[in-house]
Amino acid sequence: MSAEILIVDDNADIRNILNELIIDSGYKTRMAANYNQALAEIDKKLPDVAILDVKLDKGDNDGIELLSHIKSKNKDIPVIIISGHANIEMAVKSLQNGAFEFIEKPFDQERLINFVGRAVENYNLKKQNKEYENKLFSSYEIIGNSKNILNIKDQITKISLTESRVLINGPSGSGKELIARKIHKNSKRNKNPFVVLNGALLDSSKYELELFGEEKENGSISYGALEKANKGTLLIDEVSEIPLDIQSKILRVLTDQKFKRINGNSDTVVDVRIICSSSKDLKSEVEFGNFREDLFHRVNVFEIKVDPLSQRLSDIPLLIKYFSKKISENYNIKQLDIDENNSYILNYNWKGNVRELRNLIERIAILQPDTRDKASNIIKESLKNDNISDQIAENSLSVPLKEAREKFEKEYLSIQLKKFNGNISKTANFVGMERSALHRKLKGLGIKEFN
């Protein structure tokens, strides 16, 4: 399906030139001649890429305002800013606001089409990664035969048939979001949105904006999580981190199912099922004065408690088998041969819980050991140095396998070299490589050998 490009310029000649150029390059187009037309086109349907003139009919920064409006709806959409009144300050401002590229008029046609092509590729890649990650997440099952997991599965079955608010309590990485997704998937709301608002990751000044949205002076609307989740489910992750003044406003939404957007005068009515999660004990947070007691009772209609993985040892072999199969399929490689009763794994503390275990299996997949002993070596070293490549493992699904493998190999081999004080022979012997092969690998990865 061909990408759709929105062209916004008040000069008819430039609009027509851009339109012909872009159609000739194989893309679809929509056009707008002024600010209000552009706003209507954006609100009607978001484009795959937008080309915006900075100065339209309302002021000197119309394009920047439209850029912000697009980004409030979908931050991944690439926006190319064009201007006949360009200066360095304007270029910097547009890029700071999230513009993909800035180009001056008169523009080189080939250069502009090159920007459009790169923007389309960029958007498609982000969209594919998001679809892949969502598909991957929704395809994961809740695995385990411990009493805790069996009880949670039973609770999900019962809760999904109701509209009750749910509080999911458990340590970081234990699968709270997965449980919330399963409740949504099994509910009558499953055809409608599932939206996640992470209370721990938001700037404290943006909670209200992210929850309730905003009505801007130009008439445009930035929708918050509550409206995005209308008719569906909103997961407020780490609800304990939300400031007390915002907690009181959430309480009103739970009571009335309506709210006012920032700068709004009228109530917006929504139909949202709210699920909350927390890695902190909310009862203790109430006692400390960090969480409203009345809100606690509102969100805690039904509580699901997830035990740490270290208390569910019987689940670990099942999780290893499950993740080995899943990750091998995702990477399209031969299924990993991992000893599910590996003593290093069973005796490890698993502070990062199921997420940390999944990351470990993913590290092993990246290196693709050809024997069980080599896999065991990776496990031993990873758990001994549990800070190795956490970020790489966490983000590796969003990059090609080759790139993920190179990043991990570089980190892994650098640590082994340091451990053996730069001794190539000892390092090669430990990692299971010929000395000459290790020399070539280190050179290829850009790792300097010790003197």
288 has pLDDT over 60: yes
Residue 271 main-chain phi, psi, to 5 deg: -120, 95
Alpha-carbon gap, residue 150 to 156, rounded angstroms = 10
Contact 52, 79 (CB under 8 A): yes
CATH code assigned to 4-134 = 3.40.50.2300
pLDDT at residue 444 in the model: 84
pLDDT at residue 389 in the model: 42
251 has pLDDT over 80: yes
Q: What is the pLDDT of residues 7-62, one digit of tens each?
A: 999 999 999 999 999 999 999 999 999 999 999 899 888 999 999 998 888 776 78
322 has pLDDT over 70: yes
The token pair at 60 is 């000197």
| This prediction's pTM | 0.61
- Point out the least confidently predicted range of 101-105, 284-288, 380-384: 380-384
Q: Where are the domains of the chain?
A: 4-134, 140-307, 311-445
392 has pLDDT over 50: no
Residue 302 main-chain phi, psi, to 5 deg: -140, 125
Mean pLDDT over each residue of the chain, to the nearest integer: 85
330 has pLDDT over 80: no
The token pair at 135 is 């598909």
Alpha-carbon gap, residue 160 to 180, rounded angstroms = 10
Q: What is the pLDDT of residues 298-317, one digit of tens each?
A: 999 999 999 999 889 889 99
Alpha-carbon gap, residue 263 to 9, rounded angstroms = 29
Residue 3 main-chain phi, psi, to 5 deg: -70, 150
N- to C-terminal Cα separation, the chain = 56
Alpha-carbon gap, residue 52 to 31, rounded angstroms = 10
pLDDT at residue 390 in the model: 47
pLDDT at residue 402 in the model: 67
CATH number assigned to the domain with residue range 140-307, chosen from the 4 options 3.40.50.300, 3.40.1160.10, 3.30.360.10, 3.40.50.720: 3.40.50.300
Angle at 248 between CA 235 and CA 303, to 5 degrees: 40
256 has pLDDT over 90: no
Q: What is the pLDDT of residues 184-196, one digit of tens each?
A: 999 999 888 899 9
391 has pLDDT over 50: no
199 has pLDDT over 50: yes
Q: Is the omega angle on the peptide bond into residue 106 within 30 degrees of 0, that is, cis?
A: yes
Alpha-carbon gap, residue 77 to 89, rounded angstroms = 23
pLDDT at residue 50 in the model: 94
User: What DSSP element (H or E) covers 425?
Assistant: helix 424-431
- Point out the least confidently predicted range of 149-153, 382-386, 438-442: 382-386
- The rounded Cα 260 to chain-centroid distance in angstroms is 27
- What is the arithmetic mean of pLDDT over 71-85? 86
Kindly state the percentage of the chain with pLDDT values over 70.
Answer: 91
Q: What is the band of 388 on the pLDDT scale with cuts at 50, 70, 90?
A: very low
Alpha-carbon gap, residue 198 to 176, rounded angstroms = 12
The token pair at 284 is 């203790």
- Could you tell me how many residues make up the chain? 451
Q: What is the band of 76 on the pLDDT scale with cuts at 50, 70, 90?
A: confident
The token pair at 21 is 């150029």
Task: Tell which phi-psi region holds residue 136, choosing left (phi > 0), alpha (psi between -120 and 50) or beta.
Answer: alpha
